[in-house]
Structure 1
Amino acid sequence: MEKTISNDDFNKLIQTEDVAIIDVREPEEFIAGHIPNAKNIPLSQLETRFIELAKDTHYYVICHSGRRSELAREFLTAKGYQATNILGGMMEWQGAVVAEG
């Protein structure tokens, strides 16, 4: 399992596959714009909310720049989950974005 994936490769991947995306930014960042179908679990809540995730699912983790998502990937991997960090985060994201509110 890859620890990281580039923004470009991830954008290509979601064109052909249904993937599970976790956005670990804070709720106000998530509401301002996120990848469609991403689940918001802020890094600050991951330690208590990771039990919401399925062990048999591969998760792709994103944040603003890639730092928080890497910390989340390390945490999830240590807990026995399959996770890949999306390099560059939303700063480099060129795909579809959904905003709420």
Structure 2
Amino acid sequence: MQNITTKQMQDILAANPDAQFIDVREPEEYAEVHALGTKNVPMSQFADRLHEIDTAEDLYVICRSGGRSERVCQYLEQAQGAESEHVFNVLGGTIDWVEQDLPRK
């Protein structure tokens, strides 16, 4: 797992809008505010919805502040065998995304 900042994530999305950017917060949290370009796959449903994610490609994971997304990244590496160079935890999460005034919905 690699850690990246919200600004780095925004740069990645600007260069590749189709990047796998997953928000692991619960649906009601996601509905309040979320980074533009994310897909909601809640941590509580993650194992059941793993088929929606290509673990062979780069995967960027965000949550509220970085804790849940870090646990999901660890799960991907340990239980699913995802390569650490393809798994990215977005530090500061949605809180930092909003504070940095990055595109959101």
With structure 2 as the length reference, what TM-score do the two structures score?
A: 0.83
Which SS does the other structure have where 2:55 is aligned? coil
Q: Does 1:52 align with 2:52?
A: yes
- Structure 1 alignment gaps of length 5 or more: none
Identity %: 35
Which SS does the other structure have where 2:89 is aligned? strand
* Deviation, structure 1 residue 11: 1.7
* Deviation, structure 1 residue 62: 0.2
Distance 2:72 2:32 in 1: 21
Q: What residue in structure 2 maps to residue 80 of structure 1? A: 81
Q: What residue in structure 1 maps to residue 11 of structure 2? A: 12
**Runs of 4+ residues deviating >4 angstroms:** none
Aligned pair count reads 97
* Deviation, structure 1 residue 70: 0.2
Distance 1:76 1:70 in 2: 10
Q: What residue in structure 2 maps to residue 30 of structure 1? A: 30
> What RMSD, in angstroms, separates the aligned Cα atoms of the two structures?
1.4
Report the more deviating stretch, 50-59 or 64-73: 50-59
* Deviation, structure 1 residue 9: 1.5
Q: What residue in structure 2 maps to residue 92 of structure 1? A: 96
- Structure 2 alignment gaps of length 5 or more: none
